[in-house]
């Protein structure tokens, strides 16, 4: 964490308030910083990075198993490997400008450490662990899914491409048999810049809300809403 950036400011950026701010400092401290200090405090984030790797793996495994119930173990493992990869984590860390918050030694500063893939990915894992230790699994899960939202949306879009399972068609068949009517889809929100739009769709059946879906296109959002509705109606 740079001297000009307060713990309060960092917590606002992360959307999480720590009960133990020391954990936040540890998560944002690279070993190069502690190695250059003469005090006995040798705090650095490798311990949290180790734990964060495990927490991240659990959160992604839970998410993928729930989101893609029809996928086999091999398919889910492939998706998880992509989501927890150094490249994906570094990209997410850059979006939240994590690099400028880190405490680095002079050597890392000179070698552009704030832009390094490995350093950013490790710091994000450390943050996930810090929130886990401070607030529990649910707090860490919420933070992780929020930070990796763009990667998760992209994964869902890839899985919803032509040839994959068509939840809208399945739901239409269920509704015709059970209600003798069709589901209604309404786009209720659009967010993000034009080249990275995110759509939110609400699905109702006979006036009753049955699902909400989000995606990079209206089609994908409708598919996700239909999937949620099918889960409710099962």
Could you give all domains of the chain from N- to C-terminal order, each with its CATH number?
7-158 (1.10.1520.10), 163-233 (3.30.160.20)
Query: 49 a known binding residue?
Result: yes
> Is 166 annotated as contributing to ligand binding?
no
pTM of the predicted structure, to 2 decimals: 0.67
Answer whether residue 15 shows pLDDT above 70: yes
Is residue 125 annotated as involved in ligand binding? yes
**1-10, 114-123, 188-197, range with the lowest pLDDT:** 1-10
Quote the pLDDT of residue 3.
Answer: 44
Cα 147 to Cα 3, 29, 88, 172: the distances in Å are: 24, 20, 11, 34
CA distance 78 to 32: 33
Write out pLDDT tens, residues 180-194: 889 999 999 998 887
Residues 208-228: what's their mean pLDDT? 90
The pLDDT of residue 38 is 60
Mean pLDDT of 151-161: 79
Predicted confidence at residue 160, as pLDDT, reads 64
| Residues belonging to the active site | 53, 125
Tokens coding 26: 């540890």
Question: What are the start-end ranges of the H helices in 101-217?
Answer: 106-110, 117-135, 137-147, 149-159, 167-178
Q: Are 36 and 103 in contact (CB under 8 A)?
A: no
pLDDT at residue 39 tops 80: no
Amino acid 61: pLDDT: 96
CA 3/CA 126 separation, integer angstroms: 20
Reported as a pLDDT band with limits 50, 70 and 90, residue 4 is very low
User: Which of 48-77 are b and which e, b meaning 16 or more Cβ less than 10 Å from the residue's Cβ?
Assistant: bbebbbebbeebbbebbeebbeebeeeebe
Average pLDDT over residues 103-127: 87
Of the two residues 193 and 101, the one the predictor is more confident about is: 101
Q: What percent of the chain has pLDDT over 70?
A: 92
Answer whether residue 63 shows pLDDT above 50.
yes
Task: Write down the mean pLDDT value for the chain.
Answer: 87
Q: What token pair was written down for 158?
A: 């890839």
What pLDDT was estimated at residue 108?
Answer: 77
Distance CA 133, CA 25 (A): 13
Bridge partners, residue 190, by sequence: 199
Structural element, H or E, at residue 200: strand 198-205
10 Å CB burial of residue 180 (0-12, 13-18, 19+) is exposed
Of the candidates 45, 54, 51, 7, the one whose C-alpha atom is nearest the C-alpha of residue 27 is: 45
Residue 125: pLDDT over 90? yes
Q: Where does the pLDDT of residue 120 fall: very low under 50, low under 70, confident under 90, or very high at 90 and above?
A: very high
């Amino acid at each position: 964490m740079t001297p000009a950036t307060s713990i309060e400011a960092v917590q606002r950026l992360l959307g999480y308030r720590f009960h133990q701010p020391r954990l936040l400092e540890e998560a944002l401290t690279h070993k190069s910083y502690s190695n250059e200090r003469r005090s006995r405090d040798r705090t650095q984030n490798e311990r949290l990075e180790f734990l964060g790797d495990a927490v991240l793996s659990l959160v992604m495994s839970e998410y993928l198993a729930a989101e893609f119930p029809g996928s086999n173990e091999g398919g889910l493992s492939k998706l998880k490997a992509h989501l927890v990869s150094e490249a994906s984590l570094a990209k997410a860390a850059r979006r939240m400008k994590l690099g400028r918050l880190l405490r680095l030694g002079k050597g890392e500063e000179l070698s552009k450490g704030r832009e390094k893939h490995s350093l950013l990915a490790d710091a994000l894992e450390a943050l996930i662990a810090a929130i886990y230790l401070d607030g529990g699994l649910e707090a860490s899960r919420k933070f992780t899914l929020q930070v990796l939202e763009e990667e998760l949306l992209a994964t869902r879009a890839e899985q919803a491409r032509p040839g994959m399972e068509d939840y809208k068609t399945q739901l239409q068949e269920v509704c015709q048999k059970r209600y003798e009517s069709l589901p209604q889809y309404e786009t209720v929100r659009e967010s993000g810049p034009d080249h990275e739009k995110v759509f939110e769709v609400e699905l109702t059946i006979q006036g009753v809300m049955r699902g909400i879906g989000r995606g990079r296109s209206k089609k994908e959002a409708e598919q996700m809403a239909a999937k949620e509705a099918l889960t409710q109606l099962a």
